[in-house]
Structure 1
Amino acid sequence: MTDLIKKIKSRFKERFNEEPVLIQSPGRVNLIGEHTDYNDGFVLPAAIQKVILLGIAKNGIGKIRAYSEDMDEAVELDLNNLQKSDKHWANYIKGAVSEVMKAGHKPKGFDVVFGGDIPIGAGLSSSAALEGAVLVGLEKLFSLGLDRKRMAKIGQLTEHNHVGVNCGIMDQFINLHGEANKVLKLDCRSLEYELYPFIRDDIKIVLCDSKVSHNLADSEYNVRRSQCEEGVEVMKNYKPEIKNLRDVDLELLNAHKDEMEEVVYRRCKYVLEENERVHAACRDLENNDFEAFGKRMFASHDGLSNDYEVSCEELDVLVDIAKNQPGLLGARMMGGGFGGCTINLVEEQHVEAFTDAIKEQYKARTGKDTEIYITQINGGTQVLQGDEADIKK
C-alpha cells in the first residue's frame, strides 16, 4: 500500500501540481447469498484488501480532469456539459457526478488520479470501488451532505443510467459500509444491515478465476428473474399480499409445487433455501463456527449448480478440486454464474499447497489456466488524509 500511495501522490503532483486528498476504496466478495438480491432477499458480502487508491483535489476551473494510472489514459469533462466518454472507466466518474447534480448538489471542478490492485473483470467490483472513491472524495471536498446510504444509491444509478448495467445495490453498499474483520448482512428490500464478526486471521479468502467469460449471464439472468416471478404469481393466489419470493416460505411453496412447472419450483426453492443459509451463516459466525459456515458455502454451490443452474462445468470442477484439499473450509461459485470465480475459505498454512493443486488439476481437467487471488476482509471506503468525521456512516 505504501508504494501505491507514493505512486498516486507523485503522479498527481506531476500532472496537477497539487497535494491530493487520498481515498482508499475496496473491492468486495460475497460470501453467501447469490441471486437473492432481486427477490428482495439477503446477501452477505465483505470488503476486501484489494483496493483502488484515488487522489482528488479542487481545481477551480469548472472541469473534471481525470487520469487512470493502470490504463495510462486521461480525460477532461466539462461540468456544464457532461457527455459520455469513449473511455469506459471515465463514465463511472461522469455518471457519479451527473447523479449527484441531478439530486440538487453542485460540485465544482476537480482533478483525479487513481490506480490499484483490484483485478478488472474478476467479479470483485472494481466499478463500485471507483464510484465509492469518487463520491467520498466529492463529499470530502465540497461537503454536499451525502450520507453513505445515499452514496450507495447514487453509485447504483450510475451503473443503471450511465454504464448500462441494471445491477442491485450490494456492491456499492458494502464498498461504503464495510468494516475490518466483519461481514455485512444486507436486507435488499429495506437496506437495513447488520455486521457480524469474521475474526479468524489464520483464514484467507482465495478466489479462483475459471477464465470463462460470463457470456450467458445476462440472458439467463432475465430467465431466472421471470421464473421466480412465475412462482410468485402462483403463491399470490393463496396469499395476495405476497410481493416476491421474500414473502414466501418453503411450507407454502411445497404445498403448491404441483401447480407450477418443476423448473420454476426448483428456482424458487433455491432462493428460499439460500436466504435461510445467509441467516444461518451469520449465526455460525456469532458462534465462531467456521466449519459450519463452510458447509453452508458448499450447500450454496450445490443449489446454484443443480437447482438454479447458473454454474458451468469449469466452476463445478474448481469446487470439486477444492473439496479434496487440506485446510479448505468451504467453496462455491460467486456472482451471476456461467463463468467468473469461485470463493474459497482456506487456512493460511495450506494456501500455497491449495493454490498449486488448483492450478495443476484445473489445467489437467479443463485444459485452461486459472488466475488465483488471495485476500482478507478489510474496511470500506475511507479518507486516508484529513478528518473523516464529516462523511456520515
Structure 2
Amino acid sequence: MKEIISLAPGRTCLFGDHQDYLGLPVIACAISRNIKLTAVQNDTGLFKLNMIDIDQVRNIDINQTFTELAPRDYFASSLRVLRRHGCIPNVGYDITITGNIPINSGTSSSSALLMAWINFLVNAFGVNEEVTPEFISKMGYLSEVVEHGEPGGMMDHYSIGVGNIVHIDTRDPFSFTIIGTELGGLITGVSGVPKETIGLIGDLKGNALLAISKVKEHFPDFDLNTAEIEDLDKYCNYLPDRLIPFFEAAIKNHHYTKMALIEFQKPTLDLKKIGGLMNQHHAVLRDQLKITVPRIDAMIKAALYAGAYGAKIVGSGGGGSIVVMAEPGKEAPVVEALLAAGAVAAYPVTVDPGCRIQ
C-alpha cells in the first residue's frame, strides 16, 4: 500500500512579533523540531487520523465538503481550500501523527501540523497548479487565517513552508526572501506557561489599527512602513494615552526588524549585534505590549546572565517560549540557566530546510 511521510518543522520568530498582521515585515526561521505525518493508503474511504501525542483519534470521510466549519478545525478548512485548487481525495489513508514541537508553546506546533497535512494531501491527490514551497505556504495561510477569519498573519505558514531564515514582506503584493540557511547558537526555552493566541492577537491588532487610524486623521499620507522611530513624538501627540503603547510598539519593532535585516544581509553575521537587537525588540514586547509573564522574564534574565547575546519572547505571548542567541559552542551553560530559572525544557536548535515529503 502507498505510504507518504510528510514532515513540517516548527518555527521561531527572530524579529517582527505582532507585526505581520499590520502589513509589516518579519524575520523568522524554521527550526529543527517537527511534526511527522505518516500516511498509509487504505480501502475505507476515510482519513483515519491517530494523533498520538495528544491521544486523539478522528475519522474524516474523504468526500466530506465541510459547508460549515467548527472553530479552529484546520483539517476541515484545508480540505475545503484545497478542493478549490483541484485537490480531490479519492482514496482513504491511515494517518499517524507524532511530533517533538512543544504544544501551545509559541513555536507553531498547530501550524506545523496543518502544513504537514496540506503537503500530504497535495502529494497524494495533486492540484491544478505547480507545487512549490510558496504554494504550500499560501494554502496554509488561507486555511488557518482567511478561511476561519482569524486575526493572525502569514509568518508561521511561510517560515515553515519555505524553511531556512526568511524575511517576509507582508504588504500587498506579498513577497519573501531567504536570507540565510544557518544560524549558530540558537536556543529554544519553553516556559510551560500556555500561551494565548486568538484573543490576545485580536486585542493587540485592534488597538494598533485604531491608533494608526487616529494618526491618519491628522496625517492622511501616513504610511506605517515608511514611518521612522524619530517621528514618534510628532505622531503620539495626536493619540490618546491608552493607544500610545500600541503605536510605539509597531514603529519600534519595525525599526529593529529593519536593523536586523541589514545585519543578516552582511557576508559575516555579527551575533552580538543581532542579539542586542533581539533584546531591544523584547523590551518593546514586554513594556509596550505587555505580553510576557514572570517566568518568561526570569528565563530571559537568566539566559543573559549566563552569557547569551540576546533573548526574546516568541509568538503571540502570554506564555509560550523564548528564542535565545548564544555564542555557538557555548549553549550548554545557557540551557542550564534556563532550566534553573523555571523552563520546562530548553535545547539548542538549528535552522530547518522547511516542509517536505520524506
> Which TM class, normalised by the smaller chain length?
0.7 to 0.9
3-state SS in 1 of match to 2:282: helix
TM-score normalised by structure 2 residue count:
0.87
Give the letter aligned to residue 302 of structure 1: A
RMSD between aligned residues: 2.8
Alpha-carbon distance between aligned partners in 2 of 1:72 and 1:164, rounded to the nearest angstrom: 28
Match in the other structure for 1:106: 88
In the alignment, structure 1 residue 330 sits paired with structure 2 residue 310: yes
Alpha-carbon distance between aligned partners in 1 of 2:227 and 2:270, rounded to the nearest angstrom: 29
2:275 to 275, 294, 316: 294
Give the letter aligned to residue 169 of structure 2: D
CA offset at residue 65 of structure 1?
Answer: 2.4
Give the letter aligned to residue 184 of structure 1: V
Say whether the 8 Å CA contact 1:235–1:253 is kept in structure 2.
no
Match in the other structure for 1:235: 215
Deviations 1:20-50 (A, max 9, x none): 1222211111111111111110111111111
CA offset at residue 142 of structure 1?
Answer: 2.2
In the alignment, structure 1 residue 382 sits paired with structure 2 residue 353: no
Give the letter aligned to residue 320 of structure 2: G
3-state SS in 2 of match to 1:349: coil
Alpha-carbon distance between aligned partners in 1 of 2:290 and 2:102, rounded to the nearest angstrom: 26
3-state SS in 2 of match to 1:245: coil
Deviations 1:106-137 (A, max 9, x none): 23223122222112122111222122122222
Match in the other structure for 2:258: 279
Match in the other structure for 2:154: 169
Unaligned runs of 5+ in 2: none
In the alignment, structure 1 residue 356 sits paired with structure 2 residue 336: yes
Match in the other structure for 2:323: 343
Q: Superposed, which structure 2 residues align to 1:249-260 within 5 Å? A: 249-260=228-239
Give the letter aligned to residue 255 of structure 2: E
Give the letter aligned to residue 296 of structure 2: L
Deviations 1:151-207 (A, max 9, x none): 32332333347778542121111111113xxx101011232011112535xx33222
Give the letter aligned to residue 285 of structure 1: F
Higher deviation after alignment, 148-157 or 316-325: 148-157
Alpha-carbon distance between aligned partners in 1 of 2:107 and 2:257, rounded to the nearest angstrom: 20
Alpha-carbon distance between aligned partners in 1 of 2:2 and 2:61, rounded to the nearest angstrom: 22
Unaligned runs of 5+ in 1: 1-17, 364-368, 385-393
Match in the other structure for 1:66: 49
Deviations 1:68-117 (A, max 9, x none): 24345433211223569xx999x433332122124454232231222221
Aligned residue pairs, count: 351
In the alignment, structure 1 residue 191 sits paired with structure 2 residue 174: yes
Give the letter aligned to residue 159 of structure 1: E
Match in the other structure for 2:346: 372
Alpha-carbon distance between aligned partners in 2 of 1:156 and 1:349, rounded to the nearest angstrom: 36
Give the letter aligned to residue 157 of structure 1: L
Q: Aligned in 2, Cα 1:100/1:131: closer, same or farther, shift over 3 Å?
A: same
Give the letter aligned to residue 197 of structure 1: G
Match in the other structure for 1:92: 74
Alpha-carbon distance between aligned partners in 1 of 2:20 and 2:78, rounded to the nearest angstrom: 22
Give the letter aligned to residue 29 of structure 1: T
Deviations 1:2-27 (A, max 9, x none): xxxxxxxxxxxxxxxx2412222111
2:248 to 269, 276, 289: 269
3-state SS in 2 of match to 1:52: strand
Structure with higher Rg: it is: 1
3-state SS in 2 of match to 1:70: helix
CA offset at residue 381 of structure 1?
Answer: 0.8
Q: Aligned in 2, Cα 1:148/1:239: closer, same or farther, shift over 3 Å?
A: farther
Identity of aligned residues (%): 20
